[in-house]
């Protein structure tokens, strides 16, 4: 790629912020319509009672908790990957970080709504918050749901600031170019950024600390989500493998979501000269590693259950392996391993299209994995007399569709308001460590004498 | 020492008549949900009679097993509740405070016995059943978990009666609705902390087993049965 | 507003900016009066090396310790405040307490980092400060704050000879 001048970079990356095309508005309205439908479905559920959802005894958790785990898992796309690449000083990350971090913030916000949506009495959700109340009762900190509360809030704070802090210089850039109301809004968002060396240095120090802090938080979040299940004596849930299994699966689905988002941005915002094939190739390799890791975890989990040969576990084992859930199970293996493995392993197939196909497979497969962890275990718990099956209703389907539409809608709105590629970080690449810099510093000191 | 309420169910006496189920519904204001909802798994039976079949047709034996909340000492449902709606009482019951419940349904998932029931809708009673609601038992609204209480209202009534007469509760004085209605006297209720009580005596029987005892939940319901595995050592 | 009195040169090339910086130092401008602004960090050039010392990592650690202590106390207090019957198990359950302590440690560290950044980088202040929108077009601003009228001509000459594209005086 011929080096771009700063002016070209500014122009290319600020162009999408302009007016909205008819195509953009149509797509936005389409997604907004689905989101509104989901809100209506939730409103109906609150009005009529949670019974309008398909959950039943004994499958008390269905699509909602599946979505919860799925979206929280997807949120491991951004902040975690971006933090690791930042710490590893991988220069190729620069055009990727922001569009990844946005996924985190939105996916986490969407996922965090599900513990409320699935409640029998969602209007009392604030009872989960630890605050001194007139009831004299604090929430039960022994409950993994409370751990979720703390972990998700910490992760949300971490990922929102991780996204917002490096946005400040870009806000200043837009501020300097905008006029009228836009200028006022971006002035506020830029927080009076001037670009003094002190500001730059503090920002980079803060990002370094944040990158260090956010990695263990991200790992803890999905571990705790897994403990929502592993802490209960339910067949195939009560397992020590769950925390690392969930974290690996989360990163797996996160990378896949990132690849899909990048491909869409590349196409619709014409970022062909910024999101290069090498980015998809590098992320594709990461996805390949995670696919193998996922397969390894599933294998280890199933193998242990098989040799343990505990009757209640074997019931769930067989119902997913050969029983009524087996079509979903093998579809999951197909989507998470059979499709992505050859595509990502063969260099010729590891193209942009190839990685996107693999990623779509992984997103579907990981959603199925969450479903297959939750529902077969609950529907085949110990006493055979109370086994049951689960089938979602239109309410759950609408709300599930609504979350995907919400993700698309929020992403579209974000890409219209903020440059989706960090402009200053991209420019910083233009000045890699120059060999003559130390010598210059030397002369500078002499000059000062 | 506080009472530790427990129950013994003699499976060799149970005829599967389901009188306990009906009595429980009447005593505890358990609403019926109708055919359609029952088919969707929303029926609420704090006690149910599980039917299992042994052998091949035509030589089939039916076994009945009434299952109710086992009032576990180490109950999986309790620590997972974020709002202390399910909690442990000093008399060893797994309490369920309806007013605290916000409907996470985590307790029901954690319960290995599936004896927790959720109000998917606000309860309704077909006329004239609405006229026979028990004033001692609160009705539960939508979004709330409910389950067998060992008829805590009867326990409390007897305890208050006894303390007003300045005496201890007598063995056999308290009868939950299921125990009272059992025509074969298959169920016995009493204080497990008193080694002389009928329930303690029966719980020490060599026919005694615990349901899913291997999970370590320490249930306070004991089942008596001539198990085919223990055939040789029967009393 | 005397603070807005300044003279500065806009440089396109960081090497020229480096020379401009040296020229200002040679002219005897006090280090605290030297203005530097850029649209990129330029870590490799010495003109950006002012004010590099920061206690931010230590403050973040401290914030983490404070957060963790709060988390531990909260977890402990809420378990003692509503003592549940645990059947011989400890009333203050160690695992959940550790988890809450850990999460709030990280919360405290992140919070402190953000607040430290906002304060030490003077972000969010409304006080007017010298600035030029040209910076975001890639220009590097090197200048002096509050120069005397006598100095202005000299500084302008020095900045231009260092390679400034333009010199502005406010």
State whether C87 and B73 contact (CB < 8 Å): yes
- Predicted pLDDT of residue A430: 54
**Global pTM?**
0.92
**A215-248: burial string, b at 16+ Cβ within 10 Å, e else:** bebbbbbbbbbbbbbbbbbbbbbbbeebbbbbbb
Question: Tens digit of pLDDT for each residue in C97-127?
Answer: 999 999 999 999 999 999 999 988 888 777 7
Q: Residue A444: which pLDDT band, with cuts at 50, 70 and 90?
A: very low
Q: Does residue A29 lie within any of the structural domains?
A: yes
Nearest to B42 by CA among B136, B143, B117, B126: B117
State whether A141 and C47 contact (CB < 8 Å): no
Interface membership of C95 toward B (CB under 8 Å): no
Q: Residue C60: which pLDDT band, with cuts at 50, 70 and 90?
A: very high
- ipTM score for this prediction: 0.90
What are the chain A neighbours of B42 within 8 Å (beta carbons)? 51, 56-57
- Output the average pLDDT for chain A: 89
- Predicted pLDDT of residue A154: 95
Contact partners for chain C, using 3 or more CB pairs closer than 8 A, are A, B
Residue A440 has pLDDT above 50, yes or no: no
How many domains does chain A contain in total? 1
Tokens read off for A225: 């989500």
Between A50, A58, A127, which is nearest B83 by CB?
A: A127
DSSP H or E stretch at residue B153: helix B152-164
Question: Tens digit of pLDDT for each residue in A378-430?
Answer: 999 999 998 999 999 999 999 999 999 999 999 999 999 899 988 888 877 65
Q: Which domain holds residue A354?
A: 6-130+196-447
Interface membership of A130 toward C (CB under 8 Å): yes
Residue C160 has pLDDT above 70, yes or no: yes
State whether C48 and A168 contact (CB < 8 Å): no
CA distances from residue C114 to A208, C108, C109 in whole angstroms, order as listed = 12, 10, 9
Q: Does residue A163 lie within any of the structural domains?
A: no
Q: Does residue A18 lie within any of the structural domains?
A: yes
State whether C121 and A176 contact (CB < 8 Å): no
- Predicted pLDDT of residue A439: 39
Is B139:B123 a contact under the CB 8 Å cutoff? yes
State whether C136 and A10 contact (CB < 8 Å): yes
Other CB atoms within 10 A of residue C129 CB? 17
Question: Tens digit of pLDDT for each residue in A339-351?
Answer: 999 999 999 999 9
Q: Does residue A249 lie within any of the structural domains?
A: yes
CA distances from residue A342 to A80, A193, A250, A258, A347 in whole angstroms, order as listed = 26, 48, 21, 20, 9
- Predicted pLDDT of residue C55: 85
Gap between the Cα atoms of C116 and C114, Å rounded: 5
For C60, the 3-state DSSP assignment is helix
CA-based nearest residue in chain B for residue A379: B109
Interface membership of A150 toward C (CB under 8 Å): yes
- Predicted pLDDT of residue B228: 55
Question: Tens digit of pLDDT for each residue in A250-287?
Answer: 999 999 999 999 999 999 988 888 888 889 999 999 99
Domain boundaries, chain C: 2-52+138-169, 56-120
CATH of domain C2-52+138-169: 3.30.70
Spans in chain B with pLDDT lower than 70: 1, 227-235
**B182-195: burial string, b at 16+ Cβ within 10 Å, e else:** beeebbbbbbbebe
Tokens read off for A395: 């309410």
Residue C132 has pLDDT above 60, yes or no: yes
């Amino acid at each position: 790629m011929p080096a771009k001048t700063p002016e070209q970079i500014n122009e290319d990356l600020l162009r999408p912020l302009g007016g909205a095309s008819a195509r953009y508005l149509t797509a936005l309205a389409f997604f907004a319509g689905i989101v509104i439908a989901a809100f209506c479905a939730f409103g109906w559920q609150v009005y009529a009672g949670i019974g309008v959802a398909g959950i039943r005894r004994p499958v008390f958790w269905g699509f909602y908790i599946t979505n919860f785990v799925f979206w929280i898992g997807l949120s491991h796309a951004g902040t975690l990957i971006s933090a690791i690449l930042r710490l590893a000083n991988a220069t190729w990350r620069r055009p990727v970080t922001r569009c990844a971090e946005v996924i985190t913030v939105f996916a986490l916000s969407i996922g965090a709504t599900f513990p409320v949506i699935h409640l029998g009495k969602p209007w009392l959700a604030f009872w989960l918050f630890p605050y001194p109340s007139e009831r004299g009762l604090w929430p039960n900190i022994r409950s993994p749901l409370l751990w979720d509360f703390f972990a998700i809030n910490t992760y949300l704070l971490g990922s929102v600031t991780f996204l917002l802090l490096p946005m400040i210089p870009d806000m200043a850039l837009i501020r300097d170019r905008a006029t009228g109301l836009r200028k006022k809004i971006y002035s506020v968002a830029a927080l009076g950024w001037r670009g003094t060396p002190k500001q730059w240095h503090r920002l980079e120090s803060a990002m370094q600390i944040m990158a260090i802090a956010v990695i263990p938080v991200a790992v803890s979040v999905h571990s705790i989500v897994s403990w929502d299940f592993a802490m209960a004596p339910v067949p195939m849930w009560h397992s020590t493998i769950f925390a690392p299994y969930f974290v690996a699966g989360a990163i797996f689905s996160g990378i896949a979501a990132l690849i899909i988002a990048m491909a869409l941005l590349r196409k619709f915002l014409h970022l062909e000269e910024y999101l290069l094939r090498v980015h998809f190739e590098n992320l594709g390799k990461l996805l390949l590693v995670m696919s193998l890791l996922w397969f390894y975890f599933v294998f280890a989990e199933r193998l242990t259950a098989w040799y343990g040969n505990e009757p209640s576990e074997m019931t769930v084992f067989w119902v997913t392996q050969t029983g009524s859930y087996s079509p979903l199970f093998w579809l999951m293996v197909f989507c998470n391993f059979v499709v992505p493995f050859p595509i990502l392993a063969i260099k010729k197939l590891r193209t942009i299209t190839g990685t996107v196909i693999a990623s779509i497979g992984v997103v579907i497969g990981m959603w199925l994995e969450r479903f297959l962890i939750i529902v077969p275990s609950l529907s085949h718990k110990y006493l055979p007399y109370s086994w049951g099956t689960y089938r979602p209703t239109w309410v759950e389907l609408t709300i599930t569709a609504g979350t995907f539409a919400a993700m698309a809608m929020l992403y579209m709105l974000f890409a219209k308001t903020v440059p989706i590629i960090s402009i200053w970080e991209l420019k910083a690449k233009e000045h890699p460590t120059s060999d003559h810099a130390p010598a210059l510093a030397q002369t500078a000191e002499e000059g000062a004498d | 020492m506080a009472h530790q309420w427990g129950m013994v169910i003699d499976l060799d006496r149970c005829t599967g008549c389901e009188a306990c189920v009906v009595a429980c519904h009447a005593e505890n204001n358990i609403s019926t949900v109708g055919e359609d909802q029952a088919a969707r798994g929303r029926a609420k039976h704090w006690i149910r009679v599980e039917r299992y079949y042994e052998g091949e047709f035509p030589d089939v034996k039916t076994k009945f097993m009434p299952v109710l909340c086992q009032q576990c000492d180490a109950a999986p449902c309790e620590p997972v509740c974020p709002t202390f709606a399910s909690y442990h009482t000093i008399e060893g019951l797994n309490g369920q405070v309806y007013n605290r419940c916000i409907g996470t349904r985590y307790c029901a998932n954690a319960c290995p016995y599936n004896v927790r029931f959720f109000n998917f809708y606000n309860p309704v009673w077909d006329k004239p059943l609405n006229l026979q609601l028990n004033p001692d038992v609160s009705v539960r609204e939508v979004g709330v978990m409910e389950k067998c209480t060992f008829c805590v209202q009867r326990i409390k009534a007897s305890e208050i009666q006894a303390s007003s007469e300045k005496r201890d509760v007598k063995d056999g004085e308290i009868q939950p609705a299921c125990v009272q209605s059992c025509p074969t006297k298959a169920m016995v209720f009493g204080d497990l902390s008193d080694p002389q009580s009928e329930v303690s005596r029966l719980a020490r029987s060599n026919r005694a087993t615990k349901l899913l005892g291997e999970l370590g939940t320490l249930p306070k319901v004991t089942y008596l049965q001539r198990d085919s595995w223990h055939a040789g050592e029967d009393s | 507003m005397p603070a807005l009195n300044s003279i500065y040169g806009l440089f396109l090339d960081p090497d020229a900016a480096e020379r401009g910086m040296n020229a200002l130092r040679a002219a005897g401008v006090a280090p605290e009066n030297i203005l530097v602004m850029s649209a990129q960090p330029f870590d490799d050039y010495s003109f950006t090396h002012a004010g590099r010392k920061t206690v931010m990592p230590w403050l973040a650690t401290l914030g983490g310790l404070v957060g963790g202590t709060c988390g531990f106390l909260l977890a402990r207090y809420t378990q003692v405040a509503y003592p549940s019957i645990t059947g011989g198990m400890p009333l203050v359950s160690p695992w959940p307490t550790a988890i809450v302590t850990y999460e709030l440690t990280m919360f405290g560290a992140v919070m402190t980092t953000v607040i430290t950044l906002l304060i030490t980088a003077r972000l969010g202040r409304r006080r007017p400060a010298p600035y030029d929108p040209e910076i975001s077009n890639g220009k590097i601003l090197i200048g002096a704050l509050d120069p005397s009228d006598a100095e202005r001509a000299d500084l302008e000459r020095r900045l231009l000879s260092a390679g400034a594209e333009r010199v502005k005086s406010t």
